[in-house]
């Protein structure tokens, strides 16, 4: 008896890595080669209290360096700040270390003279002293009262309570950085006009000077139909020109930005510190403190660099008047 053999050979199992077309599945190959995505740690923001301490140390330590500031901050707060963080905070708030003052002054002089500087140097100088960015531009006055900048901004941004709604209304003369401020419950057109009507214009009348132009952002608080907008109508009534910031420029005039640096360092940070663990001061108390501080700023606070060169605002304003 002859056995019939099945001559058909058993077909090999289909390779799971191949598709119906016979080509290998690219997904498996790529998956094996792709490296797992590394999670990036986001930088932890520096608390206002820590920033205030850093700026204070930079001011009182005449021989301070970035390295020494980092070490002292770590010993006091237990947090190690990177070199980049310290440099950025100092530049943001316009604080110059003693060993850097000469270099920054030289850089400012080059920019004022029109000498060539690198884009990085120019950016650094403008960040340390935003007023320099207005040099010879339409946002810089050539005499007292020629160009004033006005802005409204939160006193204590980020606070969820009532104090977080308080607004600082400020006007700064770009000739010497003489400042006028008022604390208001919220930002309104009437509040912006009140500061001009009851404080700014009367002071210039007493000095025998005239306000010629006010520069503001394009926010609806300041800009609108010249026939209907309260702020616009008031300026027209008093023959004051209104210039809006260019769309490609920072929204705030450089002299106003410089004033905000000083206000933050000298008034807001100490105010935050004094409010820690205490009953928040009343609106009237903070308003009085702010007005007194601005008086001190105008009369005695030396402003380094362009264009005051260590002279207080009123000293510069009066020396160069006319």
CATH number at residue 279: 3.30.420.10
CA distance 163 to 160: 8
On whether both 299 and 183 belong to a single domain, the answer is yes
Q: Tell me the pLDDT tens digit for each residue of 100-144.
A: 666 778 898 999 999 999 999 999 899 889 999 999 999 999 999
Higher local confidence (pLDDT), 37 or 9: 37
β-bridge pairing 213-216 and 179-184:
unpaired
| Euclidean distance between CA atoms 123 and 120, whole angstroms | 5
Q: Which of 67, 83, 113 is the last residue of a domain?
A: 113
Domain count within the chain: 2
Residue 110: φ, ψ to 5°: -65, -45
**Residue 273: pLDDT band by 50, 70, 90 thresholds?**
confident
Mean pLDDT of 291-297: 97
Has residue 292 been placed in a domain?
A: yes
Answer whether residue 24 is part of any domain: no
Same domain (yes/no): 78, 173: no
Q: Check whether residue 198 and residue 263 sit in a common domain.
A: yes
Q: How sure is the predictor about 240, in pLDDT bands with cuts at 50, 70 and 90? A: very high
Residue 316: the pLDDT is 95
Residue 82 sits in which domain range? Answer: 48-113
Residue 68 lies inside a defined structural domain of this protein = yes
Report the predicted TM-score, pTM, of the whole model to 2 decimal places. 0.77
Q: 293 and 145 in one domain?
A: yes
Of the listed ranges 146-155, 157-166, 187-196, 222-231, the one predicted with least confidence: 157-166
256 in the same domain as 220 = yes
């Amino acid at each position: 008896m002859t056995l019939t053999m099945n001559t058909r050979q058993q077909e090999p199992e289909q390779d799971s890595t191949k598709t119906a077309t016979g080509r290998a599945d690219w997904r498996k190959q790529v998956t094996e080669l792709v490296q797992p995505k590394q999670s990036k740690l986001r930088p932890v923001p520096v608390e206002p209290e820590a920033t205030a301490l850093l700026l204070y140390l930079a001011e009182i330590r005449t021989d301070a360096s970035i390295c020494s500031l980092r070490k002292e901050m770590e010993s006091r707060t237990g947090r190690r700040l990177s070199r980049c963080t310290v440099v950025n905070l100092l530049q943001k708030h316009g604080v110059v270390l003693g060993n850097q003052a000469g270099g920054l002054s030289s850089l400012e002089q080059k920019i004022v003279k029109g000498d060539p500087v690198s884009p990085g140097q120019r950016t650094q100088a403008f960040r340390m002293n935003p007023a320099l960015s207005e040099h010879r531009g339409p946002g810089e006055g050539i005499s007292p009262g020629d160009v004033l900048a006005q802005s409204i901004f939160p006193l204590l941004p980020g606070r969820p309570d009532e104090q977080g709604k308080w607004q600082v209304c400020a006007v700064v003369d770009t000739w010497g950085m003489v400042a006028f401020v008022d604390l208001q419950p919220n930002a309104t057109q009437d509040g912006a006009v009140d500061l001009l009507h009851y404080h700014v214009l009367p002071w210039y009348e007493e000095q025998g000077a005239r306000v010629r132009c006010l520069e503001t952002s394009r926010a609806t608080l300041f800009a609108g139909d010249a026939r209907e907008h309260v702020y616009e109508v008031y300026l027209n009534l008093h023959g004051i020109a209104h210039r809006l910031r260019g769309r490609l420029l920072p929204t705030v005039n450089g002299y106003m930005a410089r004033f905000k640096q000083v206000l933050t360092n000298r008034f807001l940070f100490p105010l935050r510190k004094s409010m820690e663990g205490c009953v928040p001061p009343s609106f009237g108390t903070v308003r009085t403190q702010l007005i007194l501080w601005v008086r001190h700023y105008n009369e005695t606070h030396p402003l380094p660099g362009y264009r005051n060169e260590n002279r207080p605002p009123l000293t510069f304003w009066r020396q160069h008047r006319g």
